[in-house]
Structure 1
Amino acid sequence: MSKFLKFSLNLESFIDDLQKIIEQNNKSVDELLKLDKKSYSSFVKPLQENEERLELFFSPLSHINAVNNSDESQKVYADSLPIITDYSTKLSQNIEIYRAYKEILEDEAKTLNFEQKRVLDLNILHFELSGAHLDKKSKTRLQEINIKKSQLSNDFSQNLLDATNAYEYVTSDAKDVDGLLKSDIESAKFEEDGVTKYRFTLQMPSYIAYMTYGPNCKIREELYKAYVTRSPENAAIIDELLSLKDEMSKILGFSNYAELSLASKMAKDTKSVIDFLQTLIDNSKEQAKEELKEVQALSKEPLESFDTAYYSEMLKKKKYEIDEEEYRPYFEQSRVVDGTFEFLNRLFGISFVRVDEKLWDEKANAYDIYLKDELKARIYLDLEARKSKRGGAWMHNFETHSKTKDGEVKLASAFVVCNFTPSSKTQKSLLRHDDVVTLFHEMGHAIHHLLSEVGEIEVSGVNGVEWDAVEFPSQFLENFAYEPKVLKLFASHHETKEILPDEMIERLVRAKNFMSASQMLRQLEFSLFDFKLHSKLYSGESIQDLLDSIRKDTALIKPPAYNKFQNGFSHIFAGGYAAGYYSYKWAEVLSADLFFSVVDEGIFDSNVAKAYLDIVLKGGGAKSMDEYFKTLMGREPDAQSLLRLNGII
């Protein structure tokens, strides 16, 4: 059995090495196309392995550019994108490969297993969505569009990172930090010319800390305004991206980009998505209005957008006696990580063993994963915020579980990245409970990729999973971060070692659905905006007009005119969620439904959890998630579970 790849990256020679791999792949494709008799084994398998080799080479650069960004990594990454995009576009439009796949599917229909059929079905669909069947002029234009789109998406992301890093607010008035958590005050404090000062930035731990606990309304507004006006230059990028996506859709025979996006998703059509989102809005709005009334009662002035987090936290403390500072000592980062591992061991029987490996940062760690004493995968954790790291949290797959044409088993690996409060020599990293939820979420993605037992690369792990189902495993797992049984595995005071008391757990659970309808409306606003934005061609002021029209139905507090949320909506303009942000809610129906079934069985002794491991996690993308869910639950998903989970019904 093969070992894991050693993480390494040579920026100096990267472009030359990349071009060599692409040359080798192109040569291989030419040779494979000359085969007299093409079969799955002789043709499809080698093509998959070519793509995996390129992916394994490129992933370290993509990863480093996100977690340890530098001028050099930015340049190399930007220079490599046109090369990669040009190669992949030409490959995806190669009519000879497309025809060969269709012939192999027909000729070997009786001998192919379901994994192999899925690979061919998805590839044929991908070729058709890439325009392989179109004329040369159309293909050339699609290639130009794809290259430009990748460049623009990278520019969008880099602009956002640069703007985030460029801003800071400094105060020397201790009254301005009165009420913040002690750990947040310590993180913000610094000395200059013998004066104690406090620095707040747009990095998530710092920004959230002040917006939630900062007593000075003017500072909250300053920070909020800086955050929602970041990267105004991204407005032009959005216009160009939307135009290119619309043109691409028309070339491929779709009315709009939303239709093109749904061609490879679970949702059947655009009406299904909009109706789904609108139903959730209608079910959530009245409760959200009542929630806002309670928050408004705490403020003498009408609430503004930059006030809601502050007064919501005040109400939360009043209703549930939830004080984040009281909880954070029980969520010390390393203990939370160890407890998360223990939880996964109790739920699925997997164990984690620390690996001594030099990585890109001294605070990043590697662990080998075992299932019933068998080595299955490796996971890399990089959990603390730093200036060179992109904001947010994510899982990125590195290696993929598969079998070569010679029968050799290759194991999977993946990165989990978060932006938790940094630790130091004098201060431990103490997490908010929301951070614990985030870690569980990303670990749900990770084990979905890492525990796959599929032999075909393109449908193993998260590969081949419909985009509107990919959040199902992550959302399922994050729900357990509120379960008393689970919390008691790791929530212990970092100094006294006391387990989080039952009374504090009860308060946390009671507060779980605090403002849940309001939060639901906010996510539905993002989802509906994204989907409608890609349902016809918008540009310039019409984009803001669309957002404003949706906010009439979803935003109970009107945002200030300077709020340009769209310029920072990286999920759809620099990520993979264009016309797919609704996926979070679509997948949450599946996750809520499954979660209640596991809880009803007692969590750790759940037969449903064991079946989930065998069917969904081990199954990867080899079958449709719709089929997996019906096999697992014996029925269609119940949308009412999502409202129940959020305390809305």
Structure 2
Amino acid sequence: MTHETHVPPAPIDLPGAGDWLGWVAARCEGQLDEARRLVEQVKAASGAADVLGAWNAAETALGNAGSVALWAEVHPDAAVRDRADELGQVVQRYVTELGLDRDLYAVLADLADLAATPEAEALDADARRVLDHTLRDFRRAGVDRDEATRERLRELSERSVLLSQDFGRHIRDDVRSVRLAPEQLAGLPDDYRTAHPADDDGLVTITTDYPDLVPFMTFGADGAARRELSLAANNVAWPVNDQVLQDLLAVRRETATLLGHDSWPDYDTEVKMIGSGRAVADFIDRISDAAHQRAGRELGVLLERKRQDEPDAETVETYDSRYYSELVRREQYDVDGQVVRTYFPFDQVRQGLLDVTGRLFGLDWTPVPQAEAGTWHEDVASYDVGLDGVRIGRIHLDLHPREGKFKHAAQFDMVTGIAGRQLPEGVLVCNFSSGLMEHDEVVTLFHEFGHLVHHVLGGQGAWARFSGVATEWDFVEAPSQMLEEWAWDAGVLATFARNGAGETIPAELVAAMRRADHFGKGTHAAQQMAYAARSYFFHAGPHDDLTAYGDELQRRYSVFPPLQGAHMHCAFGHLDGYSSGYYTYMWSLVIAKDLFSAFDEADLFAPDVAHAYRDKVLAMGGRRDAADLVEDFLGRPYSFDAWEAWLAE
């Protein structure tokens, strides 16, 4: 990985305790004005260097303006969140206008024609790729369609933005809860029950936020209580999001048709590794077929264990799966999740994550005092990222739940990295307890942090178009899924996993955890394909009743029956951002297992392979197609072999 000789620019100044409402507006509007000015400069420029230079600067400013979406998800002030949503609409309207700007398109198309002539100014590979991808984006926006079609596409784009914002906001703001008798918390860890005392009515309130939900579904022995809480979680944003989603699906179908595609999945996959909508359906079936026998065997084990509690039980419900999987692992694999979690206090895990990734990728994480970072909430921890003695970015970790905050786990861009112009800054947004963590939460944290590392390392190049996590969308999860492997290694965990007595997690316990983790791979793959099928088939054609059709897909692909009375599609946030592409998670896992095959499990920190991976995959951002990045690192094309071997273990 190479670096410019200049001193990297400083991080942006956040207002801290100051006027966030004014700052968010000024940041977004100022950068949007700058983008408009630069676009006019593109139209007036001549010569490849001037045209592409101005276009790159315009894309940089537009990315800065678009990052206002972050504040709609994380800021504690509802007025700031609402203003960010409004500004996001303005940004997206301008993005739509640009995509349909025939004069701008003509300038870039003429440049492409000129570049093909022998006497033209030579474009290097990156510049040529920027130009090719930009022209492709214009065509996908409909710039070459007739005036009436362009106008309708503009209307649909604006409608899509509003619907997406509504869909996400309804999920974010709708925290549901159940009230239970204290005895219904049987099986929960002591610290959980202590943190959830009975109220004046003698009842305990459990919410659908992750720190409440995940432990309860894992350890709660009361099946009726698990069902009640699961029903609440699967009905978040119901019924309002049902119509919102139907409207969003209709907008996407019409958009795809106007752009000459048979379906939204065909349009969506045109720029993905998988290549076509039909290939998504085939992939879902391929994974389902591969996992079918294993999932059936695992389901039999779960049902046998459930019958020890309920002799007449005929099915394992969705709300049973985590609980009985935990019991099987405890009783048959000697892994007690309540013991395991004592080795993972949040503060230790966070520092351990930084130490592990720093050692792996040669990075330094320097804490930034909150007063200097100027962040939006006291829970946020900030770090400057260093490589070879040079600051290359800044990250912000916002990892605990609060009212009005994004409910899941994701990495958000704050600043797109451009060499010599602006440092990459990213924000990790999660919802973990500040106390003990389940091991699967530790794995999730490693996964999400992988996106943050990718954003920073990939943000050292010259072109905004390929900065950070700018690869095909069905590859973006692969580097993060591969980083999960370090959260399963006994030697790695021994560096930070210690209980209250200061005892390091025993290697034999980690070995048992790994053996136990193999149980459930089949049922997990089957359930993932049920989610992927919803994502794909909801978009592939219209369906009057999304609940009924979702239940049909659950019965077709999962081994667990649908939860009666649930409307999970209303809370399934990935139906917005990933649209028809939820298959991405399993597609990326296939590639992640292949990438990991290059590492020596006896020495996961070996610098030759770790740094080659860093430089050939992560640091490249979107400068090459994902398949080429993988082949460059592995020395061969990617394959299913490693994933199939893992599934068979």
Contact 2:526 2:559 in 1 (8 A): no
Q: Which residue of 2 aligns with 1:563?
A: 566
1:417 alignment partner in structure 2: 429
2:606: which partner in 1? 605
Q: How far is the alpha carbon of 1:606 from its aligned partner? A: 5.2
Q: Whole-Å Cα distance in 2 between the matches of residues 461 and 160 of structure 1?
A: 27
Give 1:179-578 correspondences, 5 Å limit.
179-189=187-197, 192-193=199-200, 197-231=203-237, 232-299=239-306, 300=310, 301-302=313-314, 303-356=316-369, 357-403=373-419, 408-422=420-434, 429-452=435-458, 453-463=460-470, 465-493=471-499, 495-536=500-541, 538-541=542-545, 543-573=546-576, 575=577, 577-578=578-579
Query: Is 1:175–2:183 an aligned residue pair?
Result: yes
TM-fit CA distance, 1:285: 1.1
Q: Secondary structure at the match of 1:297?
A: helix
Structure 1 stretch displaced more, 236-245 or 561-570: 561-570
Asked if structure 2 preserves the Cα contact closer than 8 Å seen for 1:64 and 1:360, the reply is: no
Compared with structure 1, are the counterparts of its residues 589 and 638 closer, same or farther at alpha carbon in structure 2 (3 Å cutoff)? same
Matched-pair contact (CA < 8 Å) for 1:444–1:477: yes
Q: Partner of 2:126 in structure 1?
A: 115
Counterpart-to-counterpart distance in 2, 1:226 and 1:338 = 34
Shift of residue 82 of structure 1? 2.9
Question: CA separation in 2, counterparts of 1:34 and 1:46?
Answer: 10
For the aligned residue pairs, the C-alpha RMSD in angstroms reads 2.1
- The Cα of 1:25 is off from its aligned counterpart by 3.1
Task: Report the counterpart of residue 42 of structure 1 in structure 2.
Answer: 50
> Contact 2:292/2:522 (CA < 8 Å) preserved in 1?
yes
Aligned amino acid, residue 367 of structure 1: Y
* Structure 1 residues 347-390: Cα deviation after superposition (integer angstroms, max 9, x where no partner): 22112111112311112111111112222111111111222322
Deviation readout 1:543-567 (Å, 9 max, x if unpaired): 3454334333322232133221211
Q: Distance in 1 between matches of 2:602 and 2:537?
A: 40
**Cα deviations by residue, 1:314-372 (Å, 9 ceiling, x for unpaired):** 22211122222212221111211221122123222112111112311112111111112
Secondary structure of the equivalent of 1:496? coil
Contact between 2:105 and 2:138, CA under 8 Å: does it hold in 1? yes
Q: Are 1:629 and 2:626 counterparts?
A: no
1: CA distance, partners of 2:41 / 2:597 = 53
Q: Residues 635 and 13 from structure 1, CA distance in 2 versus in 1: closer, same or farther, beyond 3 angstroms? A: closer
Q: Are the counterparts in 2 of residues 369 and 379 from structure 1 also a CA contact under 8 Å?
A: yes
Secondary structure at the aligned position of 1:385 is classed as coil
Q: Is the 8 A contact 2:56 2:465 kept in 1?
A: yes
For residue 624 of structure 1, report the CA deviation from its aligned partner.
Answer: 0.5
1:350–1:370 contact (8 Å) kept in structure 2? yes
Q: 1:539 to 1:489 in 2, by over 3 A?
A: same
- The one-letter amino acid paired with 1:540 is D
| Structure 1 residue 11 corresponds to structure 2 residue 21 | yes
1:196 shift after superposition: 6.1
Equivalent position of 2:42 in the other structure: 32
Deviations 1:573-618 (A, max 9, x none): 2x2x112111111111111011122135621115332211111111
Q: 1:371-429: CA deviations, max 9, x gaps?
A: 122221111111112223221111112222223xxxx353211111111113xxxxxx2
- Give the C-alpha shift of residue 540 in structure 1: 2.1
Question: CA separation in 1, counterparts of 2:415 and 2:401?
Answer: 25
Q: What's the CA shift string for 1:199-231, capped at 9, x where partnerless?
A: 200101211222222222222221122222222
User: Partner amino acid for 2:648?
Assistant: I
- Alpha-carbon spacing, 1:507–1:226, altered in 2? closer, same or farther (3 Å): same
Identity %: 26
Q: Does residue 585 in structure 1 map to residue 581 in structure 2?
A: no
The alpha-carbon deviation at position 157 of structure 1 amounts to 1.2
Q: After the TM superposition, which of the residue ranges 268-277 and 120-129 deviates more from structure 2?
A: 268-277
CA 71–411 in structure 1, closer or farther in 2 if over 3 Å, else same: closer
How big is each residue's C-alpha offset from its partner over 1:109-138, in whole Å with a ceiling of 9 and x where there is no partner? 662222211211111111000011112211
The aligned runs of 1:148-159 (5 Å cut-off) are 148-159=159-170
Moved over 4 A (4+): 12-21
Segment of structure 1 superposing worse, 514-523 or 2-11 = 2-11
In structure 1, what is the Cα distance between the partners aligned to 2:563 and 2:533?
Answer: 20
Q: Within 2, Cα distance between the matches of 1:283 and 1:479?
A: 22
SS of residue paired to 2:518 = coil
CA contact (8 A) 2:21 2:83 kept: yes
Aligned residue in 1 for 2:3: none
Query: Matches of 2:20 and 2:507 in 1, distance apart?
Result: 51
Contact 2:409 2:431 in 1 (8 A): yes
Supply the distance in 2 between the matched residues of 1:639 and 1:417 (Cα, whole angstroms). 31
Q: Please say which of residues 326-335 and 109-118 is displaced more in the overlay.
A: 109-118
> 3-state SS of the aligned residue for 1:410?
coil
Q: Specify which of 96, 99, 103 is matched with residue 96 of structure 1.
A: 103
Match of 1:426 in 2: none
Map of 1:22 onto structure 2: 32
Give distance in 2, aligned partners of 1:444 and 1:278. Answer: 28
How far apart are the structure 1 equivalents of 2:417 and 2:254? Answer: 37
Distance 2:30 2:504 in 1: 56
TM superposition score normalised by structure 1: 0.92
Task: State how far apart, in whole Å, the 1-side matches of 2:521 and 2:134 are.
Answer: 40
Shift in Å, 1:444:
1.0
Structure 1: which 5+ residue stretches go unaligned?
423-428
- What's the secondary structure of 2:21's corresponding residue? coil
Contact 2:38 2:57 (C-alpha < 8 Å) held by counterparts? no
* Whole-angstrom distance in 2 between the partners of 1:269 and 1:388: 37
Give the Cα–Cα distance (whole angstroms) in 1 for the partners of residues 325 and 590 of structure 2.
26
Cα deviation per residue 1:425-464 (whole Å; 9 max; x = unaligned)? xxxx21111111111111111111101232111112112x
State the TM-score, normalizing by the size of structure 2: 0.92
Q: 1:556 to 1:417 in 2, by over 3 A?
A: same
One-letter amino acid matched to 2:589: E
Q: Conserved in 1, the CA contact under 8 Å of 2:535 and 2:579?
A: yes
Contact 2:42–2:104 (8 Å) recurs in 1:
no
Q: Does 1:127 align with 2:107?
A: no
CA contact (8 A) 1:185 1:198 kept: no
Q: What is the distance in 2 between the residues matched to 1:112 and 1:344? A: 36
Q: For 1:264, what is the secondary structure of its paired residue? A: coil
List per-residue Cα deviations over 1:154-209 (Å, max 9, x = no partner): 1111112222x2x22223x432112101222223225x44x765220010121122
Aligned length: 624
Structure 2: which amino acid aligns with 1:242? L
Q: How far apart, CA to CA, are the structure 2 residues paired with 1:635 and 1:323?
A: 41
Q: Distance in 2 between matches of 1:584 and 1:521?
A: 13
Greater CA deviation, 144-153 or 503-512? 503-512
Paired amino acid for 2:631: K
Distance 1:153 1:336 in 2: 34
Question: d(CA) in 2 for partners of 1:139 and 1:342?
Answer: 51
